[in-house]
C-alpha cells in the first residue's frame, strides 16, 4: 500500500543524505521524495511516498523520528489529503498535429510553456493519476522528454471540506 509521509526537518546540510541513507540502509522502498523550504527558514518539509504494509511504514516513521534533525513526521494514510505532482513534458508536435494536442492539453488543464516547429513543452500538475493519464495520452504522438517532481501533499482541515 502507498503511504505519504510528511516530515518536518531542520534546514541543514546533510539532512537529505541522512534521510536518504537511512532508507537505503534499512531497505525501505521510496517511491518519491520531495524537499522544499517552509515559511520558517530553519525548517524544510520532506514529502516521502513509500510502498509497504502498515508495519513497514510504522517502522519507517519511527526510524525517521530517531534522526536528530527530523522534528516531526506525519503519516497521511486514512486522512483527507491534497496530493499533487508537477510535470514538464515535451511531446513531438508538428503544426498539423497542433490543434489535436492543444485540445488534449486543455482537457488536462495543462499549460503550454514552450513551443517549436516540432514539439511542445507542457506543464501539468495534479494528482498522480492525472499526470500518469496525461503521459499515456501523449505517448502516441511521441514523448521526447519528461521531468517530474515527487508528490507533495497537505492534509485538509476537517472543517473546510471544500472540493478538490
Partner 1 sequence: MSKNNNHPNETIYKPGSQVIVDMLLEQGVEVMFGYLGGVVLPLFDKLYDAPIKFVIPRHEQGGCHMADAYARATGKTGVVIATSGPGATNLTTGLATAMMDSVPLVAITGQVRTSLIGNDAFQEADTTGITRPITKHNVIVKDPNTLAQTIREAFHIAGNGRPGPVLIDIPVDMQLAECPIPPKTEIELPGFKVKSRGHGRQIAAAVAAINDSKKPVLYVGGGCIISGASEALRAVAQKANIPVTTTLMATGAYDQSRPESLDMLGMHGSAYANYAVQYADVLISVGARFDDRVTGKLDTFAPSAKIIHIDLDPANIGKNVHVDIPVVGDAREVLEEMIDGLEHRPRKEWFEQIAAWKSKHPFMYDKKTDVIKPQYVIEEVCRQTHGDAIITTGVGQHQMWAAQFYKYSKPRQFITSGGLGTMGFGLPSAIGAQVAFPDRTVIDIDGDSSFNMTLTELSTAAMYNLPVKVAILNNGFMGMVRQWQELFYHGRYSQSSLKNPNFADVAEALGCVGITVKKKKDVPGAVEKMLAETRPCVVDFHVDPTENVWPMVPAGKSLHEMDGLDIFEMA
Q: Which residues here bind partner 1, judged by CB under 8 A?
A: 9-10, 14, 17-18, 21-22, 25, 55, 58-59, 62-63, 65-71
* Cβ 22 to partner 1 shortest distance, Å: 8
Q: Which residue's CB is nearer to partner 1, number 14 or number 142?
A: 14
As beta bridge partners, residue 86 has: 125
The residue with cell 505532482 is 85
The residue (of 10 and 104) whose beta carbon lies closer to partner 1 is 10
> Of 65 and 82, which CB lies nearer to partner 1 in the complex structure?
65
Residue 157: partners with Cβ closer than 8 Å, 6 or more residues away: none
CB–CB of 124/110 below 8 Å? yes
**What is the C-alpha separation between 3 and 80, in angstroms, rounded?**
13
Question: Least distance (Å) from partner 1 to the CB of residue 111?
Answer: 38
In three-state secondary structure terms, 34 is strand
The distance of closest approach from Cβ of residue 47 to partner 1 in the complex, given in angstroms and rounded to an integer, is 17
Q: Please tell me whether residue 72 adopts helix, strand or coil conformation.
A: strand
**Nearer to partner 1 among residue 69 and residue 132 (C-beta):** 69
Compute the least distance from the CB of residue 65 to partner 1, in Å. Answer: 7
Amino acid at each position: 500500500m502507498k503511504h505519504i509521509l510528511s516530515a518536518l526537518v531542520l534546514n541543514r546540510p546533510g539532512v537529505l543524505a541522512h534521510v536518504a541513507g537511512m532508507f537505503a540502509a534499512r531497505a525501505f522502498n521510496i517511491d518519491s521524495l520531495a524537499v522544499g523550504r517552509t515559511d520558517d527558514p530553519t525548517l524544510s518539509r520532506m514529502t516521502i511516498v513509500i510502498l509497504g504494509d502498515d508495519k513497514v511504514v510504522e517502522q519507517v516513521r519511527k526510524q525517521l523520528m530517531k534522526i536528530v534533525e527530523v522534528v516531526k513526521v506525519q503519516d497521511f494514510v486514512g486522512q483527507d489529503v491534497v496530493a499533487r505532482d508537477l510535470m514538464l513534458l515535451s511531446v513531438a508536435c508538428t503544426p498539423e498535429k497542433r490543434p489535436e494536442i492543444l485540445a488534449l492539453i486543455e482537457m488536462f488543464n495543462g499549460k503550454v510553456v514552450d513551443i517549436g516547429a516540432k514539439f511542445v513543452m507542457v506543464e501539468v500538475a495534479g494528482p498522480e493519476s492525472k499526470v500518469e493519464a496525461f503521459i499515456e495520452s501523449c505517448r502516441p504522438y511521441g514523448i521526447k522528454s519528461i521531468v517530474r517532481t515527487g508528490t507533495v501533499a497537505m492534509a485538509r482541515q476537517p472543517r473546510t471540506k471544500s472540493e478538490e
